[in-house]
Amino acid sequence: MAIETALPQIKGVKDVPYEELFVSGHRTCQGCESALVMRHMVKASGPRTIVLGSTGCMYVANTTYYTTPWVVPWMHTQLGASGSAALGTAAGLKVLMRKGKLKDEKINVIAFCGDGGGADMGLGAISATLTHKEYNCLVLLYDNESYANTDIQLSSQTPYGAVTTFSPSGSKKRLMHTRWKKNVPGMLAAGHPESRFIAAGCAAYAVDLMNKIRKALEIGGPTFVHTLDPCPKGWDYHPQYSQELGHLAVECGIWPLYEVIDGVCNLTGPTRQIAEGRKKRKPVYEYLKRQGRFAHFIDEDVEHFQSQVDKMWTDWLIPGVIPFTVPAKDQAILKIDKKSKPLHEEPATA
């Protein structure tokens, strides 16, 4: 029987494959959105997929001794090595197929990493991988905004002011952590013109996310998807609110959804509606007040958070994506006319 490998775009939930390739047998917390990302990721990619994963919750909790939820082939890789593992596996498959030792067919290679493993330790390897355009592989960074598996330590993805085990709020210092979250997908998109697909998604928008995974795998070459994943343990909220928090992160403009295809940026989902003025951006307080990690915030902290998010929307060259601001006097030189030119053109998919 011929194996179906083409991955068409999913038009609605009725189109979502029934087949589960990430099943029971894992020990992630109730309400773990990173586990949902894994499930959506392989649902979208289908059975002809090899998954590689760096150390973290999605390794440890998914491979408790003698059990695994993975139906597809799966391999662990070192904490900072998802980029190298993706590239090495894609290169190995290519050689085996060229030598006739493996049937020449499309096999999806996906390497995942957490924010600690991808945005911090393994960023160099991911960057290198995104320059090797002759290999087909996807790196998926699942971002729960901490080193969760080792008990919620601060990472470069932890939001401004949030409490982690490395940034507790104290009586002398209310905010132990005051860095703004590193903009990983924007940075990778801006710096890797040979990567044909780089996107930001969220499991709360499941179809949007699955379509981004599919586009990445169909467009080919080295690609990257970054997901924001609410984590009940690290963010300190009841597990039943994970989806709601994913929605709020996007609706408050904190986590813009977009994809960059061949250098063309396309905002997606509610992010697009907000940018087009069809939906009102919610105040960040709606998001912050739902999580214990921000319980120590006073008004001025919320105001600062809001002002930073506002800047992402009003000053950045592409809202939430590219953090350059262009002075009015230079907008004509750079051919930027925000009023007459649509900022977010629909890119042609390959």
Residues that bind ligand SF4 (CB under 6 A): 28-29, 32, 34, 57, 61, 144, 148, 231-234
Q: How far apart are CA 110 and CA 267, in angstroms?
A: 23
- Our finding on whether 148 is near ligand TPP (CB under 6 A) is yes
Closest CB 179 distance from Mg ion, rounded Å: 16
Provide CB contacts within 8 A for 311, sequence distance 6+: none
The region of 95-103, 143-151, 184-192, 220-228 touching ligand TPP under the rule CB under 6 A is 143-151
Burial (Cβ within 10 Å: 0-12, 13-18, ≥19) of residue 207? middle
- Our finding on whether 242 is near ligand TPP (CB under 6 A) is no
The region of 115-123, 220-228, 248-256, 311-319 touching ligand TPP under the rule CB under 6 A is 115-123
Which of ligand SF4, ligand TPP, Mg ion, none sits in contact with 50, Cβ below 5 to 8 A by type?
Answer: none
- Return the number of the residue (55 or 211) whose C-beta is nearest Mg ion: 55
Sign of CA dihedral 77, 80, 83, 88: negative
SS3 341: coil
- Our finding on whether 53 is near ligand TPP (CB under 6 A) is no
The region of 45-53, 113-121, 261-269, 294-302 touching ligand TPP under the rule CB under 6 A is 113-121
Closest CB 128 distance from ligand TPP, rounded Å: 18
Which of Mg ion, ligand SF4, ligand TPP, none sits in contact with 28, Cβ below 5 to 8 A by type?
Answer: ligand SF4
Phi-psi region of 88 (alpha: psi -120 to 50; beta: other; left: phi over 0): alpha
* Contacting residue, 136, 155, 164, 223, with ligand TPP by CB under 6 A: 155
DSSP state, residue 120: I
Which of Mg ion, ligand TPP, ligand SF4, none sits in contact with 222, Cβ below 5 to 8 A by type?
Answer: none
Which residue, among 116, 124, 56, has the nearest Cα to 87 in the 3D structure?
Answer: 124
Total number of residues binding ligand TPP (CB under 6 A)? Answer: 17
Q: How far apart are CA 139 and CA 113, in angstroms?
A: 8
* Contacting residue, 31, 83, 88, 114, with ligand TPP by CB under 6 A: 114
Helices (H), the chain: 33-45, 57-60, 82-98, 115, 123-129, 184-191, 206-219, 232-235, 242-251, 269-275, 285-288, 299-314, 328-331
The region of 83-91, 108-116, 207-215, 303-311 touching ligand TPP under the rule CB under 6 A is 108-116
* Contacting residue, 149, 164, 195, 242, with ligand TPP by CB under 6 A: 149
* Residues engaged in binding Mg ion (CB under 5 A): 114-115, 144, 148
Taking the CA atoms of residue 85, residue 89, residue 91 and residue 95 in that order, the dihedral angle to the nearest 10 degrees is: 150
Point out which residues bind ligand TPP (CB under 6 A): 55-58, 79, 113-117, 144, 146-150, 155
